[in-house]
């Protein structure tokens, strides 16, 4: 899509984006949504305003669109530093003009929206000031299944795009489930930026904006992608990315003292996280897409709790209990820590209810 067409489409779409009901739902602050990778954009690149805006709405409609004041929509067939940055900048100017974030707002992201937002936050002040606009005041970013550290599926997708003959059918099937296409050079869009080494070289300077992380470890795509992702994953994103680890690793939790199922035990976890990153909730059963939809029935545990950042209070109700399987005659009971009635809520529903205080 030519840049002048993209600019006119995005500018026109803002009337629709800002027509969403004002919610100011999280701690009384406006909410801006940034969606993740949409594989349909690779096979069917959006060419109209309606496609870009409708795709953004569809992405969030299960839960968060009803609780937001604005969205930043972008096309996944584009690259981060060129087309996506341009689309984001156009919308940032409109958000600045509206005054939505003058007193502070909260960004909510999913998947690749984590990487897009991180890049935008590092650059938005000088982008907007140079154009004569007031920078946005962002109090916090809430990242669901954050892909800011990339995913091994993107590594494999790009490798297959350039040397297809070298890879087995199982890996090709996993990559096609992730991308929706048979990878070919020049048509991978933001998947290029999701390669682990590429993503981890984008906007990694320490940030003053706290990032609250919410992660899952459930299966997606019938489990065919997980064998090709490092450590525990949610079907798309590994924990080294979702937790906000500074290095790639085969991790099984965001913290080294509790597993994703809530069991207090020694477990592999990142040795360091990006500055101002806080893993909060974890669930062994919730997969990549379920972090932002209305799926219930999964126990949820916590990595960090009872703290506040920039007026956002993280105070989930919790409990502990001890359990030993009936067949483990000689073993001792294990201690589990869980969110009270966590299985009665979706992860997003629980976050919304708790942080909206």
Three-state helix/strand/coil letters over 121-160: HHHHHHHHHHCCCCCCCEEEEEEECCCCCCCHHHHHHHHH
pLDDT confidence tier of residue 96, bands split at 50, 70 and 90: very high
Give the three-state DSSP class for 140: strand
> pLDDT tens-digit profile of 99-154?
999 999 999 999 999 999 999 999 999 999 999 999 999 999 999 999 999 999 99
Tokens matching residue 167: 């890879």
pLDDT of residue 11: 42
Q: Shortest CA distance to 293 belongs to which of 235, 355, 351?
A: 351
Q: How many domains does the chain have?
A: 1
Give how far the C-alpha of residue 121 lies from the chain's centroid of Cα atoms, to the nearest Å.
15
pLDDT digits (tens, 9 = 90+) for 290-324: 999 999 999 999 999 999 999 999 999 999 999 98
Which residues does 132 contact at the CB level (< 8 Å), separation at least 6?
Answer: none
User: What is the band of 336 on the pLDDT scale with cuts at 50, 70, 90?
Assistant: very high
Q: Which among 269, 346, 333, 275 is positioned nearest to 303, based on CA atoms?
A: 269
Provide the phi-psi class of 275: left if phi over 0, else alpha when psi is between -120 and 50, else beta: beta
For residue 348, which phi and psi values (nearest 5 degrees)?
Answer: -65, -40
Q: Band of the pLDDT at 173, cuts 50, 70, 90?
A: very high
Specify the pLDDT at position 302.
Answer: 98
Q: Which domain holds residue 176?
A: 3-355
pLDDT of 191-246, one tens digit each?
Answer: 999 999 999 999 999 999 999 999 999 999 999 999 999 999 999 999 999 999 99
Assigned token pair, 154: 């993107």
Taking the C-alpha atoms of residue 193 and residue 2, their distance in angstroms, rounded to an integer, is 21
The helix (run of H) or strand (run of E) holding residue 336 is: strand 334-339
Distance in angstroms (rounded) separating the CA atoms of residues 286 and 300: 9
Q: What is the mean pLDDT of residues 83-107?
A: 96
In sequence order, which residues have a C-beta less than 8 Å from that of residue 10 and are 6 or more positions away?
A: 49, 52, 73, 87, 90, 91
Structural contact between residues 136 and 317, judged by C-beta atoms closer than 8 angstroms: no
Tokens 């009971």 locate to: 333
Cross-strand bridge partners of residue 26: 29
At 3, is the pLDDT very low, low, confident or very high (cuts 50, 70, 90)? very low
Cα separation of 283 and 256, whole Å? Answer: 15
How many whole angstroms separate alpha carbon 225 and alpha carbon 228?
6
């Amino acid at each position: 899509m030519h840049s002048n067409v993209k600019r006119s489409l995005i500018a026109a779409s803002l009337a629709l984006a800002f027509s969403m009901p004002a919610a100011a739902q999280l701690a009384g602050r406006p909410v801006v949504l940034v969606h993740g990778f949409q594989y349909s954009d690779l096979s069917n690149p959006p060419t109209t305003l309606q496609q870009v805006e409708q795709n953004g709405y569809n992405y969030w409609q299960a839960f968060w669109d009803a609780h937001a004041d604005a969205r930043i929509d972008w096309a996944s067939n584009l690259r981060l530093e060129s087309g996506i940055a341009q689309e984001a900048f156009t919308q940032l100017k409109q958000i600045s003009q509206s005054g939505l974030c003058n007193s502070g707002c909260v960004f909510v992201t999913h998947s690749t929206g984590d990487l897009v937002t991180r890049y935008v936050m590092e650059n938005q002040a000088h982008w907007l000031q140079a154009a004569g606009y007031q920078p946005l005041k962002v109090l916090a970013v809430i990242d669901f299944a954050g892909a800011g550290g990339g995913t091994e599926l993107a590594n494999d997708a790009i490798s297959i795009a350039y040397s297809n003959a070298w890879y087995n059918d199982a890996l090709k099937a996993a990559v096609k489930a992730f991308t929706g296409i048979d990878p070919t050079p020049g048509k991978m869009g933001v998947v290029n930026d999701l390669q682990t080494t590429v993503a981890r070289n984008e906007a990694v300077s320490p940030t003053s904006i706290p990032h609250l992380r919410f992660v899952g470890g459930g299966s997606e795509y019938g489990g065919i992608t997980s064998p090709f992702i490092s450590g525990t994953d949610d079907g798309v994103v590994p924990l080294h990315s979702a937790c906000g680890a500074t290095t790639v690793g085969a991790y099984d939790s965001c913290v080294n003292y509790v597993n994703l199922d809530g069991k207090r035990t020694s477990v592999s976890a990142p040795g360091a996280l990006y500055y101002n990153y806080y893993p909060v909730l974890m669930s062994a059963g919730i997969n990549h897409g379920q972090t932002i939809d209305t799926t219930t029935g999964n126990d949820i545990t916590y990595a960090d709790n009872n703290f506040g950042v920039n007026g956002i209070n993280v105070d989930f109700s919790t409990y502990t209990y001890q359990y030993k399987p009936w067949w483990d005659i000689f073993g001792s009971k294990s201690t589990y820590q869980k969110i009270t009635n966590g299985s009665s809520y979706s992860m997003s529903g629980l976050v919304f209810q708790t942080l909206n205080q």
